[in-house]
Structure 1
């Protein structure tokens, strides 16, 4: 008989909905820039739906990274989205 393992759930910082961890993108801020999580420091999660909604996501990213540079955040987020689609 196979065991049913618990699937961890995490909250998207943009829409505040809970998803299974495998369905979210894990990011973190380094020097007010968004990067994919590399295993060091505090991180946060964004769902794939919110990655497409720039306006709501931008507000959440500005809050998480404690910055007001919208252009820099959006450029970096678009790079992360295109890299995520390739893999």
Structure 2
């Protein structure tokens, strides 16, 4: 089986069911065992040879971009795509 060349991470939502934990940060930045969920995803993709990742942002995109600059593997091409409709229909927008 060939390795996917691109991955999409849906990181736009606030995670309202996780309030108050997500009151000031997107759910993809919640800490799980010392790493954000976003970092776990990026590490898993990198370990499996995925060279390019697009992260969809929405709620506090500046926090997601700051986390990406801190944790993105150096050999991985990572970019963000802002979804201005993230509040309307969650991932359906």
TM-score for both structures, normalised by structure 2 = 0.30
TM-score for both structures, normalised by structure 1 = 0.31
Q: Which has the higher helix share?
A: 1
Larger RCO (CA within 8 A; separation ≥ 6): 2
